Structure 1
Amino acid sequence: MSDTSEKRVMVISGFDPSAGAGILQDIKSFALLGISAMGVVSAYTIQNTHKVFLARFRKWEEIDQELSVLPEPGIIKVGLISPEMLRLIREKYPSAVIVWNIVLRSSSGYDFEPPEIVKENLTYADFVILNNEEAGILGLEPSDRVVVTGGHGKEAEKVIVKFGRLAFETTRLPGRYHGTGCAFSSLFAGHLYLGYSPEEAVKASIEILQKVLEKSNQQVQPEMLARDWMKFDVLDSLNSVKKELLTVGEKTIPEVGQNVSYALPWSKDEFEVAKFPGRIRLKEGKPVFVSDASFADYSHTARMALVAKSFSPHIRCVTNVRYCAEYIDNAIKSGLTVFKYDRNSEPEDVKSVDGKSMEWMIQQAYKTFGKIPDIIYDEGFWGKEAMIRIFGRNPKEVIEKMKKIIGIL
């Protein structure tokens, strides 16, 4: 394989408006590997996740004009295209590694690329990727440049990917997924770009695609796997403020302990909200953490984050702070919005249900301001410690507000 370290990745593929396949799927799959791919549309289609209605192929002159203003690629992933254009792409980029994902026919029965013309242009690609049905039509066998995928029938329990004399098996997940060929071939091309051998690129692409499909619905959704990055980012954001919490904890930690909870944008329950398990507590006057941030354990601040987010989706972080009248004065002087909650105003049905008070409290604050305020506090009640709650977009913002109320900023 030629040196591609200083060159870019190019996708030349069809446009699928449903984003399940085609160039949109290709770009998403490359992005999953941290690769910024360039892209030129080779065909426009009218389709959804279930059926292709029409495909209109672009002329080489149009494609060439777009390619000519872009940096020279080292890897080119080709998808749906007029087969004769493979020769023109090879002539334009003689040293590039070309991965051609052949698409003869859609799963709904729409014929794309004529088999006889595909055969005439196979030699212009370095690697050809296609399913077992297409391989049978073209008379292709797995080789050191032909990757054949199988297991497309409903009755198949395994997906088998053959490359040369090797066969890789993986469990076939139930359901129908639009765009597996595009995603797999793009992941394969991406791994080649990252320096993987073809064999290792096949293995790695199978593993990642399996993880993607486990989180997908009807079509291949690499973006769902990207949510795992956001989980890491949320945990990392919480852990990044530990040092400051240790510094100010002597002034902020209440008797019941303190927590900082940070919800994911899509969080629906406490286990999709990051927090410090076991709360932060004072021991001999010094803050103590049970562990780093985690999605495990329950937390009242996690429940508050969920409620706040339901009113204002960008408010995803909450902490609780020891009540002090001076802190409230500082908050007001700092220009923070402050809501005083009177527990005596709670309806009986709210008082009698555990956790309902927090939901009611935030709801009343929202009604008052038309938004979630920076601070919600109460002066305590029978069996309830007086408390200040600080709301914000993220842990950094919440900590900055906390510093203001305790008089550090």
Structure 2
Amino acid sequence: MAVLIIAGLDTGGGAGLNADIETVSALGEHPLPVLTTVTYQNPSEVKGYHTLPPEVVREQIRAVKGHLEIRAVKIGMVGSGEIAEAVTQETEGLTRVLDPVMESSTGAKLVDSVESVKALIPGSIVTPNVPEAEALSGLKISSVDDMKKASKTIAKELGAEAVIVKGGHLSYTDVLYWKGKFYKFPGERVEGFTHGTGCAFSSALATFLAKGLELPEAVKGAKRFVEGSIRFSKVEARAVNPLWELERDAYRWRAKEELEKAVEGLVELGERINPLIPEVGTNFALATTFNEVFAVKGRIVRYGNTIKPVGPVELGASDHLKRALLKMREFYPEVRAVLNLRYSEELVEKAKRLGLVVSFYDRGEEPEEVKRAEKGTIEWGIESAVKRAGKRPDLIYHLGDWGKEPMVLIFGRNAREVVKRVMLCWD
């Protein structure tokens, strides 16, 4: 099945046709991209745009219409009233999802007039955010009830088949007005970049409709998809990541395999590092690009004269090392692995002689407010050690506190590097 995508080009790669194509492809359908406008933009600003001649847009649509089974159409940036008219004529009779693009997230104008967008609304499923819904309905929106009024107004006065007002600018609740009924889709704040959310949502919605889902179920699926694309967003483009599910699974598989091999390498050192295993046990953690952290379930413990992992490598198996590693990655994202060992002065001195950057934190200096917090000591300690070193630490240690065993953390850019550093420091 094919989804026709009619939209503009974002040269920054975060929104527009790029996000649309990735979304439709990630959800398992075939995208048919039609270009309406070329924007000149980067992740920070839109410098301008150029609209294609309406006949060029018309002929792109005609080239695929009738030759491929188009089950839904997503319409994004059109740029001008002339293009809007051509698109309306050429997509008549098809299921249309309209993302009423009028401005960029930085406030740059992306269409010649609001009327050009309104011309596309009759018969379409429209997906405005709160500012767009205000512009289309003429109503001020400051609550979910206002969102309901605006969605009904757009449907009744402008002829939309259905209206989904997205609440990302307000309450994270989306409101659907369809066939005289309201539907609410609660959400929550998701950390990440949001550039391209409108494109991803409307394209996901069109794709779910192409699959045969009823509109409320399609809205629910599109909302979940976008929340994931924000959570696992693209740092380089400062935008959503429509390929998040595919990439997440690939990163998980690679990280799990990498850590399993590294744990095997550590076990081979057996008797040599047995004395360095703390009373509480050792763990070994590895982060994916998306900051999901794998570790050894049940830790690695002494086993006679050697060592043995208690359980398998699993996602989220060590809260302690996860917090230490993620805090380090805030300063140095290239660091992906960490291992904890019993404190040994000999180990620390050998690391220094090898040229590794060694730092420490003193738990006696820990502020009272951090001590009182449930989970703040590890993060405070890593930050203190990083600041003390003035550069990326390879090894961080502390000398313990009341009821806390002295410990060494060895960091690396990958799990193999950590094992190598353990070998060098203890040989």
**Do the structures match in fold with TM over 0.5?**
yes
Please point out which of 339, 360, 371 is paired with 1:319.
339
Q: How far off its partner does 1:259 sit?
A: 1.4
Please point out which of 118, 125, 136 is paired with 1:129.
125
Q: How far off its partner does 1:111 sit?
A: 1.0
CA distance in 1, matches of 2:335, 2:284: 13
Please point out which of 255, 258, 262 is paired with 2:277.
255
Please point out which of 78, 83, 86 is paired with 2:75.
78
Q: Counterpart in 2 of 1:190?
A: 207
Q: Counterpart in 1 of 2:235?
A: none
Contact 2:195 2:240 in 1 (8 A): no
Q: Counterpart in 1 of 2:411?
A: 391
Instruction: Give CA-to-partner distance per residue, 1:224-282, whole Å, 9 cap, x none.
Output: 99399649835861465336525642244533022112346686xxxx75433553212
CA distance in 1, matches of 2:261, 2:155: 59
Q: 1:170 to 1:160 in 2, by over 3 A?
A: same
Please point out which of 272, 277, 289 is paired with 2:310.
289
CA distance in 2, matches of 1:247, 1:154: 50
TM-score normalized with structure 2 length: 0.56
CA distance in 2, matches of 1:362, 1:398: 18
Contact 1:21 1:178 in 2 (8 A): yes
Contact 1:147 1:164 in 2 (8 A): yes
Q: How far off its partner does 1:340 sit?
A: 8.0
Is residue 2:96 matched to residue 1:99? yes
Instruction: Give CA-to-partner distance per residue, 1:326-347, whole Å, 9 cap, x none.
Output: 999x999xxx964385x9xx7x
CA distance in 2, matches of 1:154, 1:172: 12
SS in structure 2 of the partner of residue 293 of structure 1: strand
Please point out which of 103, 106, 114 is paired with 1:111.
114
Q: How far off its partner does 1:205 sit?
A: 3.4
Contact 1:183 1:209 in 2 (8 A): no
Q: 1:25 to 1:228 in 2, by over 3 A?
A: closer
Q: How far off its partner does 1:186 sit?
A: 1.0
Instruction: Give CA-to-partner distance per residue, 1:140-193, whole Å, 9 cap, x none.
Output: 5xxxxx444358799999744355688644237799x99776444311222255
Q: How far off its partner does 1:318 sit?
A: 1.5
CA distance in 2, matches of 1:115, 1:303: 49
SS in structure 2 of the partner of residue 339 of structure 1: coil
Contact 2:84 2:120 in 1 (8 A): yes
Contact 1:246 1:286 in 2 (8 A): no
Instruction: Give CA-to-partner distance per residue, 1:189-228, whole Å, 9 cap, x none.
Output: 22255xx2141x65143234156359969xx974399399
Q: Counterpart in 1 of 2:217?
A: 203
Q: Counterpart in 2 of 1:275?
A: 295
CA distance in 2, matches of 1:10, 1:337: 59
CA distance in 2, matches of 1:174, 1:248: 40
Q: Counterpart in 2 of 1:125?
A: none
Is residue 2:33 matched to residue 1:30? no
CA distance in 2, matches of 1:152, 1:245: 46
Q: How far off its partner does 1:351 sit?
A: 6.3
One-letter code aligned to 2:308:
P
Q: How far off its partner does 1:101 sit?
A: 1.4
Q: How far off its partner does 1:396 sit?
A: 4.7
Contact 2:357 2:393 in 1 (8 A): no
Q: How far off its partner does 1:42 sit?
A: 1.2
Please point out which of 163, 168, 171 is paired with 2:186.
171
One-letter code aligned to 2:286:
Y
CA distance in 2, matches of 1:156, 1:389: 41
Q: 1:113 to 1:207 in 2, by over 3 A?
A: same
Q: How far off its partner does 1:394 sit?
A: 2.7
Unaligned regions of 5+ residues in structure 1, if any?
123-127, 141-145
Is residue 2:265 matched to residue 1:241? no
Q: How far off its partner does 1:43 sit?
A: 3.5
Q: 1:106 to 1:393 in 2, by over 3 A?
A: closer
Q: 1:106 to 1:231 in 2, by over 3 A?
A: same
Q: Counterpart in 2 of 1:42?
A: 36
Instruction: Give CA-to-partner distance per residue, 1:121-151, whole Å, 9 cap, x none.
Output: x6xxxxx3126443323435xxxxx444358
CA distance in 1, matches of 2:277, 2:189: 51
Q: 1:308 to 1:400 in 2, by over 3 A?
A: same
Instruction: Give CA-to-partner distance per residue, 1:278-323, whole Å, 9 cap, x none.
Output: 5321244451325643436543x44653564355321221224579
Unaligned regions of 5+ residues in structure 2, if any?
128-150, 232-237, 367-377
Please point out which of 37, 52, 71 is paired with 1:58.
52
SS in structure 2 of the partner of residue 309 of structure 1: helix
Q: Counterpart in 1 of 2:362?
A: 350
Contact 2:208 2:221 in 1 (8 A): no
Q: 1:309 to 1:169 in 2, by over 3 A?
A: closer
SS in structure 2 of the partner of residue 352 of structure 1: helix
Per mean C-alpha deviation after superposition, the further-off stretch among 226-235 and 288-297 is 226-235
Per mean C-alpha deviation after superposition, the further-off stretch among 53-62 and 151-160 is 151-160
Q: 1:208 to 1:404 in 2, by over 3 A?
A: farther
CA distance in 1, matches of 2:298, 2:426: 24
Q: 1:39 to 1:394 in 2, by over 3 A?
A: farther
Contact 2:282 2:339 in 1 (8 A): yes
Q: 1:302 to 1:114 in 2, by over 3 A?
A: closer
